[in-house]
Amino acid sequence: MTPAVRCDGVVQIYKTKEIEVVALRDIDLVIEEGESVAFLGPSGAGKSTLLWLLAGLLRPSAGRLWLGDTEIGKLGPRALDRLRAADIGVVLQNPARNLIPYATAVQNVTFAQRAVRRRARRPAGDLLDRVGLTPVRDKPAGRLSGGEQQRLAVAVALANRPRLLLADEPTSQLDAATGQAVIELIRDLGETSVVVTHDARVSEATGRTVTIRDGRIGAEGRGGEDFVVVGREGAVQLPPEYHELLPPGSMARVEPLPDGVVLRRAEP
Amino acid sequence: MILRGLWRRRWLSLIVLVVAILPVVAGSLGPMYTDAARTTLLRETLDHALLDHRGWRVTSVTDTAGRLVEGVKAPFLLPPIKGAELLSPNERSTKTYPLMWIDGQCEHVTLIEGRCPTAAGEIMATGASGLKVGGTVKLNLVRDPDSGKPRLMPLRVVGVYKTDQTDPIWYGRSLFPQTAGVTEGNGDPLLTVEDTELSSAVPAGVTMAGVPATAWASTAIVYIDPQKITGDDLALLESVQGELRGLGQSGLSTTVFSYMDDTLKAVHLRLDSLSVPTTLVTLQLVALGWLLLFLTVRDLVAARAPEIALARLRGLSTLRIWAFGLSEPALLLLAALPLGLAASFAVVERMSERLLRNDLEVAVDGFTVLCGVAAVFGGLLATALAARQTVTQPVVEQWRRTPRSHRRAWVVDGVVLAITAVGLAELVAGDAITDTTGQRASALIAPGLLAVALAMIARRILPLACRALFQLTRTHGNIGAFLAMRQISRGSATASTVVVLSAGLGLAVFAVAAWSVTSRNYQEVARVHNGAETVFVVPRTDAATLRKISASVPGTAPVIVTPGPPATLATDPVAFASVALWRPSYGNDQPLSRLVAKLSPPTAAPRVMFSGDRIRAHISTPPLPKGWNAVLYADFRVFGETRPASIPMARLLAGTTVYEWGLPRGCLTAPCELRGLRMEVMGDSGTDFEDRPSGGALLTKLEMRGDGRWSTVDAGLDDPNRWTSTSSTSDGGLPLSFDPNFSATRPDTFPDPMPGLSSGTAAGQKLPGLDDIYFSGYKSVATTWALPGLNAPGVVVDLEMADRVAYGYSSRTEFQIWAAPGRGEEVRDALRGDGVPILATRTLDDLVSAYTSQGPGLALLLLIISAGVAALLALGRAVLALHAAARRRTYEMAALEAAGARVRPLRTALLLEQTITLSWGALTGILAGLVAAWAALPRVPEFAETPVTPPLDYSLVPVPVIAVACAVLALSMIAAAVTSELLLRGVRVDQLREAPA
């Protein structure tokens, strides 16, 4: 079965007037259909960049990225637009950014459906009902509470029946209860979903976590257990909690074991 | 949703709407104003035209003129004034009367006695005719039809009338010689009724082009109603002129008399000088409107950037994103179209009422709407350009606020600067490049080009300068200066502010400079061309009568102008110097009285006048060689003629003989003047030239016969000072030489050459004289830059001398009475009181108004009003841009405040930033306007026809320019202070809890 997402050595470089910044390097990642993945990591690690790549908003500077059978890097701008319109739903950080504040809840949903064929559209009323916003359907989005806005943002992201739902810090500005409601909403959707978050509740709610540090995938968590990820060139990012034992810049010995290797600090 | 969005950004939307209205107003104002101005020009031309220049008089002796003109229809034509007339001597052939009837004649005359004629055979006559009520007149061509014999019909006088000769029913004709008292041969019109024509018989057998004709000429006068004609009717007017002219050319029996061609020529000249300048002014204003719109819409689109990014995120196609991005500004532009058209309509209506004419009907026609739509489309393009970056910028770049490289901006700057440089070079050194001289309406493009070019440079310089100062303020000075320099050097709002302010104010300063310089030139040219504050045109008469009229009204000068070239102005020098408008700078700082004092010669011989029917000459002649004859001719100046009348006075015989000959016919009714004697010596065939007679005859006495009695004429024949030099002198009479080199002599009544005060290039030419036929030499007593009353290089001469030189008065001469400053009303009343008809009154103010209402003047009027509004909008837009840019930094300022920065340095920072930017933009605009004025003003047309004299002055008038500059700077300062204070009050530390905008 074709995975929902496959990254193969993806590199992303931002070019500005004077400098180039490598935001992601050698990202290898596979997300299966129906899987929920949380991207974790410190600010500036590259989580959002990876999310934008998955959303088809960027094309990788190097490497290959597939969404289903479609390779993102080979698509032109128009095809990328169509891809976003048909297959991807995005929830941006800060709920207000997902919405047109002066448009009503219904208008926001229908606005998101403009690029979708009619038969692919979910009825706006059903969507709002699903996220519990029927009572405020005709209220301008700017006048909704933070939680309502976030739920509306999810509804808007789902308006085109996406195969992949991407959410960037969906709970960052919400109180605990509202945040929990949003987490449950995303989890219960049953779609393939990728969530960028700092929120432990979100990561716990997803089946898999991917930790990104310095533009690389440093670790993955599955079933409550965290694993480091061995990179393309054999590089491994030690989790920060082990930096005390093996501080960055120190030397270590690699000792082979039958099922892997062990690192021991080498005294100079 | 669009309306909700507009409401959410209501203030910004409102500003965009106001700014969007500007190009629509500018685009539609031009055509609407041009229409109104065209109509004004046409109506003004017609209003000031003489009667025969704004109508047609059709006469026919074979057809009814009224019926002929009925076929010519146009909405602006007044109903024809029908009539008929017959010119016939009276029974005794002592006078020739026009007998006529005209539709509505009774309403156009004032009855002094009796009543208007109502039945056949009844007439009314003028008081000057001497005919009395109850008396009868018989005319040779009006016969009684009931009588089998050729008996004349008695015409009974039932009324005595007087009339205003300038009344349209007279069509400007000189029909009243008796009232004017200038002739004895012609009578004033006898007014009758149509029945007289119908019931009278006229001599039969006359045919015209094979058609039986009558002595009555049917007439129809068709006038244009200036209140009904519009600028759009010009083509129709030309067609009407063609049709009516065709009537006149269709046969000998119909004549069409009109100077409409001249009127049309004048109209075209004035209209041609209107369209190009107004188009250029309009285009510049539209361009400025688009620039303003571009910058303002950019703000609106920037405010919608997150929504546009959302649309892209949701995968909307490029077309839909464009539609979404432009939906709000497009709706505003759509709303701006009717609003702009309505505003244009209101402005043009007000301008027409106040500045043009109050009888104009301003209309929004199809072309105007089209121009408005074009302005909207241009605005849409500007909007699209403004939105381009936001719509096409990748969403991620937008979110990350990635700075973009603006390398291409230099290309735009370079292109604009190159175009400006070429344009300026072309303008300043036009002769070298295009080999053209004089004025060009295209020069009006200079202010716009220069303003934009200088703005391009200025917007680059300011951030660079502030960047340098920024380094300095980091280490020296207070935080206020540091923050201000840093902000300006970032250039976020600087560039657009400087560009907008420079363009708007550059245009405004140029407009003010152009208007003030042009107004001064209008005033100066009008002073020279009109000559006096008020000039009354009176009917053509003779110099003596004109002098008499002037002498009876204090504060006046008699003037006769012959157009030339060179133009000749004959006047009484002393009176002229006291009433003419003169500037000593025109004549080497000399007063006019000193210059004209040299025009009158100290002495001149008296004229030799004859009055009667015969002349007799006493001549002693030596024997002539065989086969040789000598004939003495006498040349007379006869009243009413412009050429001399010559008579062969004597075929000379040896010995003392008295010769007698008939005087020219004109000498019978009015005195005529002996202007010269010529001896023609001829030999029979076969005579030897060597035998040609030598020496000469001696004229000893001249006599004339008047009323059957002979009297001696005082010709001063034995006074050598009274005749021009001859070959010999004699005490006993006037020697008449046979020598062809000395065979002519004339009474020495005027100096030759005549002294004249000349202007410009007139010096050295011959004068056409009052008769406009016989050129005479003149000697310039002084040369001036300009002469009052002359609109071309010409000469001012003594009226008496000019009259003595001439043989008559050309139909091109104009007789004028000039009034001294402030005495126009009194002089007019006095002239009317003396019964002197005033054909036209020309005042200095009227002439200035006429110049103002010419094409260039109207275009400048449009420029100054529109540029003023545009400059205010530009200033408003600049302040808003600065305000918006500074408001985005209130978060940063709140942080500074929270960090302990005092309010004062923050206020200083804001104030400095706003003041520097606004002042820089304002100064650039002022500089651009001044440079444009310096470069373009000498080339910008100010008159429909550039006056030859006086020389135009293009130096700037400092007061209005300085006033505008100060007002602009003061407004900038106030705006800076107010916006700074408003912004500062909006800075709250609480803001830090919110996300930055």
Per-residue pLDDT tens digits for B172-220: 777 777 776 655 577 888 999 888 887 776 665 555 445 555 678 888 9
For residue B83, which of B258, B219, B249 has the smallest C-alpha distance? B219
Domain containing residue A112: CATH number = 3.40.50.300
Average pLDDT taken over every residue of chain B: 80
Q: Which residues of B touch A (CB under 8 A)?
A: 1, 4-5, 7-8, 306-307, 310-318, 320, 394-396, 400, 402-405, 995
**B376-383: average pLDDT:** 82
Express each pLDDT in B428-447 by its tens digit. 665 434 444 455 666 777 77
Q: CA B167, B171, B174: angle at the middle one, nearest 5?
A: 90
- Cβ neighbours for A200, distance < 8 A, ≥ 6 positions apart: none
Asked if residue B437 is part of any domain, the answer here is no
| Mean pLDDT, residues B709-724 | 80
Measured between beta carbons, the chain B residues lying within 8 angstroms of A81 are: 312, 315-318
Any domain includes B622:
yes
* Residue contact B402–A85, C-beta within 8 A: no
> Domain of B110?
55-232+243-258
In a domain, B778, yes or no: yes
Residue B641 within a domain: yes
Strand-strand pairing, B794-798 and B567-571: parallel
Q: Answer yes or no: is A95 within a domain.
A: yes
What is the rounded distance in angstroms from the CA atom of residue B816 to the CA atom of residue B838? 9
* Domain end point (choices B747, B763, B795): B747
Is B602 buried (19+), middle (13-18) or exposed (0-12) by CB count in 10 A? exposed
Kindly state whether residues B180 and B65 are assigned to the same domain: yes
Across the interface, of B310, B320, B396, the residue whose CB is closest to A52 is B396
Task: Assess if residue A127 is contained within a domain.
Answer: yes
Question: In angstroms, rounded to a whole number, what is the distance separating the alpha carbons of residues B560 and B397?
Answer: 83
Q: Positive or negative CA dihedral for B223, B226, B228, B233?
A: positive
Q: A100 and B307: CB-CB below 8 Å?
A: yes
The token pair that represents B325 in the structure block? 């991005």
Segment (H or E) for A167: strand A164-168
CB contact under 8 A, A102 and B400: no
pLDDT digits (tens, 9 = 90+) for B847-859: 888 888 777 787 7
Same domain, B97 and B218: yes
Taking any CB pair shorter than 8 Å as contact, residues of chain A touching chain B are: 14, 16-17, 52, 55, 57-58, 77-78, 81-86, 88, 90, 92, 94, 97-103, 107, 111-112, 114-116, 140, 142, 160
**A66 found inside a domain:** no
Q: Please count the structural domains in chain A.
A: 1
H or E segment and range at residue B100: strand B96-102
What is the per-residue pLDDT for B432?
38
Note the pLDDT tens digit of each residue in A86-128: 888 888 887 778 888 888 888 888 888 877 777 767 788 887 8
Strands (DSSP E) found in B524-577: 534-538, 556-562, 567-571
Distance from CA of A17 to the nearest CA of B (A): 6
Coil, strand, or helix at residue B694?
coil
Q: What pLDDT was estimated at residue A18? A: 67
Q: What is the mean pLDDT of residues B67-84?
A: 87
Q: How far is residue A235's CA from residue A216's CA, in Å, rounded to a whole number?
A: 10
Contact B80, B220 (CB under 8 A): yes
pTM of the model: 0.70
Distance of CA B91 to the CA centre of its chain: 50
What pLDDT was estimated at residue A17? 63
Q: Taking phi first (over 0 means left), then psi (-120 to 50 degrees means alpha), and beta for anything else, what does residue B610 get?
A: beta
Residue A40 in any domain: the answer is yes
Question: How many CB pairs below 8 Å do chains A and B form together?
Answer: 72
Residues B89 and B119 in one domain: yes
- Beta-carbon separation of B315 and A92 below 8 A: no
- The span from the CA of A261 to the CA of A255, in Å, is 5
B434 within domain boundaries? no
Q: Give the residue, B739 or A24, on which the prediction is more confident.
A: A24
B818 lies in the same domain as B897 = no
For B445-493, the pLDDT digits (tens) are: 777 777 878 888 887 888 888 877 777 777 776 777 777 777 777 765 5
CATH number of the domain at B686, please: 2.60.60
Q: What is the nearest CA distance from B2 to chain A, expressed in angstroms?
A: 9
pLDDT per residue as tens digits for the range B652-690: 777 778 888 888 877 777 788 888 888 888 877 777 777
CA distances from B210 to B168, B202, B251 (A): 33, 18, 10
pLDDT for residue B996: 45
Task: Look up tokens 């083509």; give the residue.
Answer: B235
pLDDT at res. A169: 83
Residue A89 lies in a domain: yes
Chain A residues whose beta carbon lies within 8 Å of the beta carbon of residue B311: 111, 114
Degrees to nearest 5, angle at CA B834 with B829 and B837 = 80
User: Angle at Cα B83 formed by Cα B78 and Cα B89, nearest 5°?
Assistant: 145
Beta-bridged to residue B49, according to DSSP, are: none
* C-alpha distance from B983 to closest chain A C-alpha (Å): 25
High-pLDDT (> 70) share of chain B, %: 89
- One-character DSSP codes across B894-958: HHHHHTT--HHHHHHHHHHHHHHHHHHHHHHHHHHHHHHHHHHTTTS--SSS--SSSPP--S--H
The pLDDT score that the predictor gives to residue B405 is 54
- Three-state DSSP class for residue B702: strand
Does residue A174 form part of some domain?
yes
Report H helices in B113-230.
177-180, 194-199
Cα–Cα distance for residue pair B712/B610, rounded to 1 Å: 10
d(CA B202, CA B142): 6
Claim to verify: residue B151 and residue B46 sit in the same structural domain:
no
- Count up the domains in chain B and report the number: 5
Which stretches of B765-889 are DSSP H helices?
799-805, 824-833, 844-852, 855-887
Between CA B394 and CA B402 the distance in angstroms is 10
Dig out the tokens for B574 from the structure.
């002393």
In a domain, A227, yes or no: no
Q: How far is CA B110 from CA B119, B163, B165, B167, B442, in A?
A: 19, 6, 12, 12, 55
Out of B712, B747, B782, a domain closes at: B747
Can you give the pLDDT at residue B158?
92
pLDDT at B206: 52
C-alpha span between B876 and B971 (Å, rounded): 10
Of A52, A77, A107, which is closest to B1 when you measure between CB atoms?
A107
Nearest chain A Cα distance for residue B980, angstroms: 30
pLDDT confidence of residue B124: 92
- Quick check: is A107 in a domain? yes
The reply to whether residue B5 touches residue A102, judged by beta carbons under 8 angstroms, is yes
Question: With bands split at pLDDT 50, 70 and 90, how would you rate the model's confidence at B404?
Answer: low
Q: Distance (Å, rounded) from C-alpha A132 to C-alpha A149?
A: 11
Q: What is the CA radius of gyration of chain A?
A: 20
With CB atoms and an 8 Å threshold, state whether A81 touches B403. Answer: no
Which chain A residue is nearest to residue B6, measuring alpha carbons?
Answer: A102
Structural domain boundaries enclosing A158: 32-54+75-219
Cβ-nearest to B402 among A16, A81, A88: A16
B443 part of a folded domain = no
The amino acid that residue B603 corresponds to is T
User: Scanning every residue of chain B, which has its alpha carbon at the shortest distance from the alpha carbon of A88?
Assistant: B314
Q: From B681, B712, B747, give the residue that closes a domain.
A: B747
Residue B786 has pLDDT above 70, yes or no: yes
Q: Select the residue of A58, A102, A140 nearest B396 (Cβ to Cβ).
A: A58
Q: Which residue, chain included where needed, has tokens 């997402």?
A: A5
Kindly list the residues from chain B whose CB atom is less than 8 angstroms away from the CB atom of residue A92. Answer: 313
Q: Strand, coil or helix: what is A33?
A: coil
